[in-house]
Structure formats: C-alpha cells, structure tokens
Amino acid sequence: MSKIYPVPAAFAARARVRKDDYARLYAESVRDPAGFWAGVAKRLDWIRAPTRIKDVSFDARDLHIRWYEDGVLNVAANCLDRHLAARGDKTAIIFEGDDPAVSRRISYRELHAEVCRFANALKHLGVRRGDRVAIYMPMIPEAAMAMLACARIGAIHSVVFGGFSPDSLAGRIADSGCKLVVTADEGVRGGRKIPLKANVDEALTRPGTTSVETVIVVRHTGGGIAMQAPRDRWWHVLMEGQAADCPPEPMGAEDPLFILYTSGSTGKPKGVLHTSGGYLVFVSYTHECVFDLREDDVYWCTADVGWVTGHSYVVYGPLANGATTVMFEGVPNYPDASRFWQVIDKHAVTLFYTAPTAIRALMREGEAPVKKASRASLRLLGTVGEPINPEAWEWYHRVVGDGRCPIVDTWWQTETGGILISALPGAIDQKPSSATLPFFGVKPAIVDTDGHVKEGACEGNLVLTDSWPGQMRTVYGDHQRFIDTYFKTYPGMYFTGDGARRDEDGYYWITGRVDDVINVAGHRLGTAEVESALVAHPKVAEAAVVGCPHDVKGQGIYAYVTLKVGVQPSDALRKELIEWVRKEISPIATPDYLQWAPSLPKTRSGKIMRRILRKIAENQPDQLGDTSTLADPSVVQNLVGERLVK
C-alpha cells in the first residue's frame, strides 16, 4: 500500500475544484462531452461563438478530430487584449535572467503593445496568415512575444529548442517550409554562451532551407555576429516606428496555431500540429484547475519554450488566464544549487512547476541550499516530463514544500497539448509517484498487447478512448503518419506509447515508454534518431541505441556501435563519436555509454533484438529472456562480457 497525502485543509475549503466537485464534474464531462466542453469554451472571448462543439472519429478509415469547428477567435487577443481593461497594469511576464542581477517585469499593457508592434513588423516583411515562422530563441520575453505576434496575424509558429544543432534546426525549417526565422545573437545558460545566430547561419546553408527569406535577430548578449544584408534584420530596428496597435486576425477554431517537432519511435521528428480554439480552451482550463490559479498568484514553470510545456504552461495557458508567469533563462545550479529557491523568494512565487530530473539533481546537493531560502510564498508544487520516483517526490514535498504544499504530478505529451492525468490539489488525495486521476473529459484505458481493455487494478499500455479539445490534429505534411502512429496499434483508440498501471483506487501510475522513445532528463528522443546520427559517421557500420537507468536523468543513452571493417576501436574514437552525436543532434542526445559491438544480436531475419540490448544496458544479463531466435547466440555473451558499467 502506498502512502496517501490527503488534500491539505487550506485547499479543501477554497480550491477551484473541491472534493465533491471532482467526481460529479468528471461524470458529467464524460457523459456529455459536447455539453461539458461547450460550457468550458465560454471562458474565452470568441469573435463568433462555436455552435458545433465536437466532431470526432478515432476510426483509422475516417479519422477526424474537430472541436468548436464554426467558432472564430484570435488566440493572442485572448491572451492580451481582453485583460487590458482589468489587468492592464498587472505583470504578465517576470523575466529572470541567467545572471541573477538581471530581471524585468512586463505588464499586460506593455506586452500587448510589443506583440502588436512585432506583429506589424512581421506583416511588413510579408508574413501572412498560414505562413510558417521558426522561432529559435533563448528563454527571453521576446520568444513569447514572437509566438503571440504569429498568433495575432494567423501565422503558424514552429519553436525549435535553442539547444538543437544547426542540422536539427535545418531539418525542422525544411520540413515546414518556414519563411522567416526569429533568433537572438546568443543565448546564455549557466554563464555559457550559445551561438544561436551562428547556428542559424549554418542551418541556412543546408539543403531545403531556401524558403527562409528573413532572419530577425534580437540583440541579447551583444556578442559579435555576422549580419547578412538583406536577409538579416535587427529586432530593435524593425520595431522602431511600428504601430502599437494591430487588429487581431479572426481565425477559425480549427486553423493551425503552431507546429512543434517531437521524437517518435521511428524516423525523423514529427511536426505535431495544434489548432487554435480547442487548444486554448484546454490549456487555459487545465492551467486554472490543476494549479488552482488565483488572481494574485505568481506562477513559475521552469520549462523552456522550445518544449510543449513551455508553450502550454509558460505562455498560452497562463496568459489566457491573465496570470503572472515567470520566464527563467538560466539553469537550476547557477550560480549555485540554491538558484531555484532564491528566485522563488525574489519574486514571491506561489505556484512552482518543474521536472523530476531537476528535483533529483538538486536533491543530491542536500537540504542546505533549499533552506537558504524561505520559500514562504509557495503554496503548490508540480512536476512533469517523466515518472517521478517516490524518493524525489517525498523530498520535493518535505524539503522544498516544507510538507505544506500539495504536489500535482501531471502526465501529458506534446501530442495531447495539455495535462490529461493529474491530481487537482483541492480534490484528489496524492500518492507519491502516481499521476492520480484523469482530468475532466479525459478517458484513459489500459489495454493488453492485443488491445483488449482491462478492468480494475491492472497493468498494460495506456490509451485514450475519446478525444479532448487540446489533442493534436495531424502530423504537419503527413496525415497518414499521424493515423499510422497513433491509431493503428489499437483500432479506435489513441495510443500514447506509455505503459501504465491502475491501482484499486483507479489511480494511474505511468511506468514509462513502451516504444523506442527514451526520456533523457525529461527530453524526448527517438533511439532511431541517435542511431542514424551515429551511422552517418564515416567509420560506423551499424549502431543500436537503448535507454538505461540513470540516477539524475531518469534514463541515459546507451549506444552499441559496430565499426566498419578495418577501423580499430579506441578511446579517442569513442570521444569523437560522442562529440559527433552532440553536433548532429544536440548536447541533450549525448550518449552516456558507447560500447563497441563487434556484432549486434539479430534474429535470423536480421532484426536487431533491442530487448536483449536493453537488458544488457540495464545490467540484467540473467534476464535476457528467450534467446533462441538469435542468429548467433555468442554475440550476446561477448556484449555482456564487455558491458561498460558493472
């Protein structure tokens, strides 16, 4: 039996959603989804209110997902304009720089004006409704301004995490045919500079990127960069003389809002497409309920805008709700391991949302750095991105939250747009490591490998049997891939790629990915991506990549590499290959272990047996399972003997 942390009294009495509300509202939401979501949609300002609420089929032969189809709205106007009357002077964004001496507050009125000016600048450069704009930025307010300016004029943004390499950026620009790139001279994280503009320059020399006409550069660090006329334009020069008023483009609810690339189990990253109306209804409502948002909260989500958490819960959810949202440029351990807690005191943060990997890293530093700050303002903690182990959960609760703050462990994905399974702090008792219960309107189920839905307490693969407004609508430019990836494994259901257990109280416990996706420090990577980077090296014949347990990162990357005939393995070559992957993809994809494999375990039909490689990497050589289908069983014994960490 796992320990139960009941809803704290302070929340029980006055939370947005209380104990008696949850079961009633949940039942209502799944009995009559259209009626329920019609009511929730009223929280937004519509230019034309939707009358057609839900039109969905998960049948692969007729797949369609439409919410609020005849509604018309503008996402940026919902995040800005409608707050001006009552909240014009309220702080919309608190920017906290990498350097602890740098911070800035931007009011709703100021943010509105800047977004309008940038939207006018984009229009002036020929960006029109439906055009794609790449945003490759540090965590600075201009990143949010650029996103909102796109939304204002109906352009589709594609934010690319600033840690990605020129090649990764180029691939994403090419896939969606971006017309313009917004970047900064450099980013800074933990005192180290990241050459963003130089990376853009390099990316734009790659094939397939000729769609880019303009590069807009924010002067952030003032570092020296090369500007190419007429392609490159300074943000601050462009903004001069732009009107601080730009009428919001009326957009259909199902018009695209953004594309965000994410890794899958096969092939190149997919361009996950989210649309306007359903997405905004869903992220604003989940943000309010899960974080029990109040008018005077200071909310801080530490995610980067390059990931979906940054989209939904740094920018769109909080701003649609008129909240004060913190944007943090830095890292948890700079200048020291007390940084998060110092920032919480400095800005009187009340709601704090971060990733298990950060909690585990800070936990290693002991309690002293936490105790240096009072954290008295905190009232709620959240986690996202990967399963949180009970030790980290308990530490977060006891040390960071002083045992007073509930924890919301929020399970969701880039594809889901917003939170699907999470505690509601005033309504649902928490169990450490469990994401707890589904959000309103969300219908999870657990299936066996044949797709039979299991009942009661059980374990298996996690699916969703019905849609919710924030669901992705397609893979950009490849609708068939959308159908094949999510709706073919278990006909009539959306397959999450995650495994899960459900206990006797109906609580969900996410056990991690069951496909070839690995989750390294909360960053999603496809093993196939890392493999294809490795085999692109001239000395590599073959590579197989699996996840392995890692104390801080949750999962690490374990690579098996077969060299070409005649190439000798060496430590220098191992370093070179590791460096190669960092350059090809990103430092987040750095292999933790790289083992030479004279050959890889394969079936007689030539398939690599990853299950076996996983067991070797997990140091469970006695659990290799059935090896009778191996073409050459001696291969495995060799690999076990040479395993890198014992």
Reading the block at residue 579, the tokens are 């460096």
Angle, helices 33-41/277-290, rounded to nearest 10 degrees: 80
Instruction: Assign 20 to helix, strand or coil.
Output: helix
Cβ 547 to ligand 6R9, closest distance in Å?
A: 11
Q: Provide the edge-to-edge strand list for the sheet that holds 508-513.
A: 453-454, 444-447, 458-464, 494-502, 508-513
x/- track of binding to ligand 6R9 for residues 560-589 (CB under 6 A): ------------------------------
Rule CB under 6 A: choose which of 183, 519, 586, 595 binds ligand 6R9: 519
Distance in angstroms (rounded) separating the CA atoms of residues 424 and 406 = 9
For position 502 contacting ligand 6R9 by CB under 6 A, the verdict is no
Query: Residues within the annotated binding site for ATP?
Result: 385-387, 409-414, 498, 513, 524
x/- track of binding to ligand 6R9 for residues 410-439 (CB under 6 A): xxxxx--------------------x----
Neighbouring CB atoms inside 10 A of 241's CB total 10
For position 385 contacting ligand 6R9 by CB under 6 A, the verdict is yes
Amino acid at 170: A
Considering only residues 315 to 374 of the shown chain, the ones binding ligand 6R9 according to CB under 6 A are: none
Nearest to 89 by CA among 101, 107, 102, 63: 107
Residue 630 burial (C-beta neighbours within 10 Å; 0-12, 13-18, 19+): middle
Cβ 507 to ligand 6R9, closest distance in Å?
A: 12
Give 307 or 487: the residue with its C-beta nearer to ligand 6R9: 307
For position 510 contacting ligand 6R9 by CB under 6 A, the verdict is yes
For position 405 contacting ligand 6R9 by CB under 6 A, the verdict is no
Alpha helices in 63-210 (DSSP H): 75-79, 84-87, 108-124, 141-153, 166-176, 196-203
Give 342 or 465: the residue with its C-beta nearer to ligand 6R9: 465
Considering only residues 61 to 90 of the shown chain, the ones binding ligand 6R9 according to CB under 6 A are: none
Nearest to 569 by CA among 535, 594, 601: 594
Cβ 409 to ligand 6R9, closest distance in Å?
A: 5
For position 259 contacting ligand 6R9 by CB under 6 A, the verdict is no
* Contact region with ligand 6R9 (CB under 6 A), list: 159-167, 343-351, 404-412, 445-453: 404-412
Give 304 or 498: the residue with its C-beta nearer to ligand 6R9: 498
Q: Which residues pair with 246 in a beta bridge?
A: none
Give 388 or 533: the residue with its C-beta nearer to ligand 6R9: 388
Give 330 or 387: the residue with its C-beta nearer to ligand 6R9: 387
Distance in angstroms (rounded) separating the CA atoms of residues 61 and 30 = 24
For position 513 contacting ligand 6R9 by CB under 6 A, the verdict is yes
Distance in angstroms (rounded) separating the CA atoms of residues 522 and 392 = 14
Query: Residues within the annotated binding site for CoA?
Result: 189-192, 309, 333, 582
Cβ 524 to ligand 6R9, closest distance in Å?
A: 4
Rule CB under 6 A: choose which of 96, 249, 498, 529 binds ligand 6R9: 498
For position 520 contacting ligand 6R9 by CB under 6 A, the verdict is no
> Residues 164, 187: contact at Cβ < 8 Å?
no
Give 209 or 519: the residue with its C-beta nearer to ligand 6R9: 519
Neighbouring CB atoms inside 10 A of 197's CB total 25
Nearest to 188 by CA among 307, 102, 309: 102
> Site size for ligand 6R9, by CB under 6 A?
23
Residue with tokens 């439906």: 130
Cβ 355 to ligand 6R9, closest distance in Å?
A: 8
> Residues 29, 453: contact at Cβ < 8 Å?
no
For position 309 contacting ligand 6R9 by CB under 6 A, the verdict is yes
Cβ 577 to ligand 6R9, closest distance in Å?
A: 26
For position 262 contacting ligand 6R9 by CB under 6 A, the verdict is yes
Considering only residues 151 to 170 of the shown chain, the ones binding ligand 6R9 according to CB under 6 A are: none
Give 71 or 406: the residue with its C-beta nearer to ligand 6R9: 406
For position 204 contacting ligand 6R9 by CB under 6 A, the verdict is no
Residue count (the chain): 646
Determine the straight-line distance between the first and last CA of the chain, rounded to whole angstroms: 32
Angle at 501 between CA 496 and CA 505, to 5 degrees: 120
> Residues 559, 595: contact at Cβ < 8 Å?
yes
x/- track of binding to ligand 6R9 for residues 29-68 (CB under 6 A): ----------------------------------------
Reading the block at residue 142, the tokens are 């201009």
Cβ 49 to ligand 6R9, closest distance in Å?
A: 30
For position 311 contacting ligand 6R9 by CB under 6 A, the verdict is no
Q: Which residues pair with 48 in a beta bridge?
A: 72
> Residues 491, 229: contact at Cβ < 8 Å?
no
For position 473 contacting ligand 6R9 by CB under 6 A, the verdict is no
Q: Which residues pair with 459 in a beta bridge?
A: 501
> Residues 466, 39: contact at Cβ < 8 Å?
no
Amino acid at 322: G
Task: Give me the residue whose beta carbon is nearest to ligand 6R9.
Answer: 414
* Contact region with ligand 6R9 (CB under 6 A), list: 172-180, 382-390, 476-484, 621-629: 382-390
Cβ 356 to ligand 6R9, closest distance in Å?
A: 8
Nearest to 156 by CA among 180, 140, 139, 190: 180
Give 412 or 560: the residue with its C-beta nearer to ligand 6R9: 412
* Contact region with ligand 6R9 (CB under 6 A), list: 39-47, 77-85, 328-336, 380-388: 380-388
Query: Residues within the annotated binding site for Mg(2+)?
Result: 535, 537, 540
Give 201 or 409: the residue with its C-beta nearer to ligand 6R9: 409
Q: Beta strand 187-189 with 192-194: parallel, antiparallel or unpaired?
A: antiparallel
Distance in angstroms (rounded) separating the CA atoms of residues 275 and 55 = 14
* Contact region with ligand 6R9 (CB under 6 A), list: 54-62, 206-214, 383-391, 567-575: 383-391
Distance in angstroms (rounded) separating the CA atoms of residues 389 and 394 = 9
For 300, 337, 372, the CA distances from 367, given in Å and listed in that order, are: 21, 10, 9
Residues at the interface with ligand 6R9 (CB under 6 A): 262, 307-309, 384-387, 409-414, 435, 496-498, 510, 512-513, 519, 524
